[in-house]
A and B are shown apart, each in its own frame.
Chain A
């Protein structure tokens, strides 16, 4: 989500120097994402693309030589060990996603693990990425077939089970990809974080790749 300032009142009087701003969160995909079904007709959509909006995303990195201290502090905070290999760990109210050696993302909702609350608890370098990334959830019977066109990673269940994660590139764009819990109908869910400014480009690429299977698009405020 990116924040844009919208002038909510105009200055009417000379001498009034302060303009009132209201900050409204807007999705980087608000133009590209047209909710509905696209591509192949007369078939059940093989791919489902859902943008998740309004999340808190904090990048946490250990300072040099302090990986163990950060690991301890994070375990005290989240109750589980942070991933030290490409994996995503689900806690009761957050997802911890590996993003590189001695670094991980904290994905959550509702401000429980936002910058102000997390910073005092963790002894690393924290950076708020909530408005810097778009989060896209990909599922459906043909999700793997679509992703195979864009990614060189083996996404077969044996190689990429629930909780697997990867820092990788798709269509020359850096993404963080991880497998969330399966849908109630048993289908795999792939979650993807992409830089906000690249989100529209990647979205169009995924729509094109999914078109032959039929694709259902939409957005949601619920984390998968």
Chain B
């Protein structure tokens, strides 16, 4: 598998580390116990399109958000995760 880093270009998988599902959103303060439990523990085991965080630690050290198909391994989009760098990628 190769990932096209928006900053560095196409790189081998060994330069990246998987963080996890990019879908869960941290609940607001004061959210119910069920919502927090969901956020911390529950994950979908998706057959198809997923969004996930990857870290380009062997390269530019940017966090990336991928859209990947777990059935075909096709990566349909790679973008900088929110807060990466002081501004977005310069194409």
Partner of A67, one of B8, B11, B62, B86: B86
Q: Which residues of A sit under 8 angstroms from B14, Cβ to Cβ? A: 169, 172
In the complex, whether A22 has a CB less than 8 A from a CB of chain B is no
Q: Which residues of A sit under 8 angstroms from B86, Cβ to Cβ? A: 62-67, 70, 101-102
- Verify B7–A86 contact, CB threshold 8 A: yes
Interface size on A, residues (CB 8 A): 23
- Verify B7–A101 contact, CB threshold 8 A: yes
By beta carbon, the residue of chain B nearest A159 is B9
Partner of A174, one of B7, B11, B58: B58
Q: Which residues of B sit under 8 angstroms from A85, Cβ to Cβ? A: 7, 90
CB distance from A120 to the nearest CB of B (A): 20
Q: Which residues of B sit under 8 angstroms from A67, Cβ to Cβ? A: 85-87
How many angstroms between the C-alpha atoms of A67 and B84 in the bound complex? 12
Most chain B beta-carbon neighbours within 10 Å: one of A64, A68, A101: A101
How many angstroms between the C-alpha atoms of A221 and B14 in the bound complex? 34
Q: Which residues of A sit under 8 angstroms from B85, Cβ to Cβ? A: 62, 67, 100-103
In the complex, whether A84 has a CB less than 8 A from a CB of chain B is yes
By beta carbon, the residue of chain A nearest B13 is A152
Main secondary structure of the interface of B (DSSP, over half): loop
Q: Which residues of B sit under 8 angstroms from A223, Cβ to Cβ? A: none
In the complex, whether B19 has a CB less than 8 A from a CB of chain A is no
Q: Which residues of B sit under 8 angstroms from A102, Cβ to Cβ? A: 85-87
Q: Which residues of B sit under 8 angstroms from A167, Cβ to Cβ? A: 8, 59-61
By beta carbon, the residue of chain B nearest A85 is B90
Q: Which of A93-146 contact B (CB under 8 A)?
A: 99-103
- Verify A174–B57 contact, CB threshold 8 A: yes
Q: Which residues of B sit under 8 angstroms from A66, Cβ to Cβ? A: 86
By beta carbon, the residue of chain B nearest A99 is B60
Q: Which residues of A sit under 8 angstroms from B89, Cβ to Cβ? A: 101
Q: Which of A22-81 contact B (CB under 8 A)?
A: 62-68, 70
CB distance from A104 to the nearest CB of B (A): 11
How many angstroms between the C-alpha atoms of A101 and B56 in the bound complex? 12
- Verify A168–B8 contact, CB threshold 8 A: yes
How many angstroms between the C-alpha atoms of A73 and B88 in the bound complex? 19
Q: Which of B35-74 contact A (CB under 8 A)?
A: 57-62
Q: Spell out A's residues near B (CB within 8 Å).
A: 62-68, 70, 84-86, 99-103, 152, 166-169, 172, 174
